[in-house]
Amino acid sequence: MSFSSDVKEELAKHISPARHCQIAEFAAILHFCGRIKRQNDGSNVLLLETENEAVLRKCFTLLRKTFNIEAVGSEGNDSILQITDREDVWNIFKTTRLIGDDGTFHGFTEPVSPILIKNACCKRSFLRGVFLCAGSMSDPAKGYHLELVTGTEKQAGQIQQILWDFELDAKVIPRKKYFVVYLKEGSNIVDFLNICEAHVSLMNFENLRIVKEMRNSINRRVNCEAANITKTVNAAAKQIADITMLQKTYGFENLPENLREMAEVRLEHPDATLKELGQYLNPPVGKSGVNHRLRKLSEIAEEFKK
């Protein structure tokens, strides 16, 4: 299973104790998974359609606990629940504010009624329902990206505002005929999981994030050390080339005593560091002194080449 599926499995098992939170979560599920099918006799059947088995189980549970309704599966289709009783359908629509006081049906593509999500606890439940139906996230071992796919810009705007209320840096981007609300930073996704009360997934996410960041830190250090080694080797190779050229054409006897000794030590110890080279000199010299002498030898070599 993917990390995203694990999160949904955990969220599907979490049932809020308060009925108003259950209604807020079911309203989210209804808006993203619901549709109406008109029967031959003119009656309407409410369908809840999703390919995620965890979401279907959550629908069963919420319908039973919140509305005292026993939903049935659709014949020949394991991904659909249906509510056929007219009074049950009416009760669900009135409770979730899909039908207004004037009897107008607002439709599934409209934002959820603000009355249902005025409390912080209900906003948490609402986000839980949205993620179950329309959410996905990347494997945190590879990258940090969470998105909620909506059908309309108004829905996306509502979800973005709720995430802003929880101080999450949510952004919206159009994608083909959809609008996607997304979070990029690892800290934002951790906070989102905490808001939705997916605490086991949060801990797993944090563990994977720690391992990833440690691995990245080690890689950066190794790359830095490799770059330093390459730089040191290249510098030593140039120093030896310059000194060899001076030895053959200019002659060490024409060099000042301190530079002659430095040139001889560098040729005798081609792999030594500046600190080690300084210890071979008599008297010993520090790194800055060794660097100064080697730079002076290179300058003489450059002048001689000209």
Report the DSSP beta bridge partners of residue 149: 180
Polymer length of the chain = 306
Convert the pLDDT of each residue in 156-196 to its tens digit: 999 999 999 999 999 999 998 999 999 998 889 999 999 99
From residue 111, alpha-carbon distances to 85, 131, 275 in Å are 25, 15, 70
Report DSSP letters for 119-144, one per residue.
Answer: SHHHHHHHHHHHHHHHEEE--TTT--
Q: In terms of Cα–Cα distance, which of 50, 32, 29 is closest to 152? A: 32
| The pLDDT value given to residue 76 | 58
Using CA atoms, how far apart are residues 21 and 2, in angstroms rounded to an integer? 28
List phi, psi (to 5°) of 118. -80, -25
Tokens 């030895």 identify what position? 247
Based on the number of CB atoms within 10 Å of its own CB, is 248 exposed (0-12), middle (13-18) or buried (19 or more)? exposed
| The pLDDT value given to residue 78 | 65
Taking residue 221's Cβ as centre, other Cβ atoms within 10 Å add up to 10
Rg (CA), the chain: 35
Low-confidence residues of the chain: pLDDT under 70: 40, 42-43, 73-78
Convert the pLDDT of each residue in 210-246 to its tens digit: 777 777 778 788 888 777 778 877 887 888 888 888 8
